[in-house]
């Protein structure tokens, strides 16, 4: 069991001395700490015990990409102590309440950023997390999403004994292909995991801040679909988004497939009621 101590902090900060630290919320797989040095400067440290460098490198890369269009915590450094990985970020005083209209505009601004080669994906796969992301570049979003997102999750659920829906799945995939013939996908920078736990607001200004990205370039409707699964986004958020990038006709039908994906992710990670939730979503899609 990992426990933060002075030896670990000494290797992270080297010449700087930490006066105080306390553990704070940091997600389901990381440990996170708020720290203060002897000069009173604050930091936010994330640690993933017994991991690999690719994990926090992916997050750091994502924050840097998002920073082109959004406020994010500044990456100060990252590294490892033994087998334990760490990421040092700017400390931000935050609140859960702020300007949701501005949050929508911020996500829309992120989606205005295009892939460097006009294709969907990323220049590396990300397999260090609990759900592998196969990001090989593709020139077709429909094929990318089916083959490198949905099919990967389907195989994981089969391997875990959580799958029994091939007929419903195959019909849903064909329906997605038909719907996408009437929608033009553009390879936009995606947050990649944009649920309500992955944004906050600066306490002083109420301005939106994006955190914990899992970036790649895809259809912007993917991020919108994720926002609709667990709530936490007000109508003002969607109004703000559409003030910059209006939704395309037929979006509601397409969002069902991104909701399905996110429920399959949670069935893989947490099992339980999420298994029944993704199966209900499959049935709902096929009944439309």
| 48-70 confidence digits (pLDDT tens) | 999 999 999 999 999 999 999 99
Side-by-side strand order, sheet with 199-202 = 94-95, 199-202, 208-210
The whole-angstrom separation of Cα 226 and Cα 193 is 7
**What dotted CATH number matches 97-287?**
3.90.1200.10
User: Beta-carbon neighbour count of residue 210 at 10 Å?
Assistant: 23
Entry field: residues in the chain? 288
Using the predicted structure, report yes or no on whether residue 1 has a pLDDT greater than 90.
Answer: no
The whole-angstrom separation of Cα 87 and Cα 77 is 6
Q: What Rg do the C-alpha atoms of the chain give, in angstroms?
A: 20
φ, ψ for residue 23, nearest 5 deg: -80, 140
**What dotted CATH number matches 6-91?**
3.30.200.20
The whole-angstrom separation of Cα 204 and Cα 188 is 30
| 121-171 confidence digits (pLDDT tens) | 999 999 998 999 999 999 999 999 999 999 999 999 999 999 988 999 999
Give the start-to-end residue ranges of the domains of the chain: 6-91, 97-287
Q: Which residues are catalytic?
A: 193
At 165 the three-state DSSP class reads coil
User: How much is the pTM?
Assistant: 0.96
């Amino acid at each position: 069991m990992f426990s933060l101590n002075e030896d670990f902090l000494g290797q992270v900060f080297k010449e700087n001395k930490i006066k105080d630290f306390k553990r704070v919320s940091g997600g389901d797989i990381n440990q996170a700490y708020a720290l203060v040095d002897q000069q009173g400067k604050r930091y936010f440290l994330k640690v993933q015990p017994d991991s690999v460098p690719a994990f926090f490198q992916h997050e750091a890369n994502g924050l840097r990409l998002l920073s082109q269009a959004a406020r994010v915590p500044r990456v100060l450094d990252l590294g490892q102590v033994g087998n334990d990985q760490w990421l040092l970020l700017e400390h931000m005083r935050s609140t859960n309440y702020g300007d949701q209209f501005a949050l929508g505009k911020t996500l829309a601004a992120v989606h205005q950023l295009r892939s460097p080669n006009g294709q969907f994906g990323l220049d590396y796969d990300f397999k260090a997390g609990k759900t592998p992301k196969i990001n090989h570049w593709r020139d077709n979003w429909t094929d990318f999403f089916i083959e490198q997102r949905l099919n990967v999750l389907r195989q994981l659920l089969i391997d875990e004994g959580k799958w029994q829906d091939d007929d419903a799945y195959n019909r849903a995939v064909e329906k997605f292909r038909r719907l996408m013939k009437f929608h033009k996908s553009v390879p936009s920078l995606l947050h990649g995991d944009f649920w309500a736990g992955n944004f906050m607001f600066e306490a002083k200004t109420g301005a939106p801040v994006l955190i914990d990205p899992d970036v790649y370039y895809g259809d912007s409707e993917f991020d919108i679909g994720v926002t609709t699964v667990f709530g936490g986004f007000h109508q003002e958020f969607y109004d703000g988004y559409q003030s910059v990038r209006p939704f395309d006709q037929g979006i509601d039908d397409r969002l069902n497939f991104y909701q399905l994906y996110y429920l399959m992710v949670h069935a893989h990670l947490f099992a339980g009621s999420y298994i029944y939730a993704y199966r209900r979503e499959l049935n709902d899609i096929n009944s439309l």
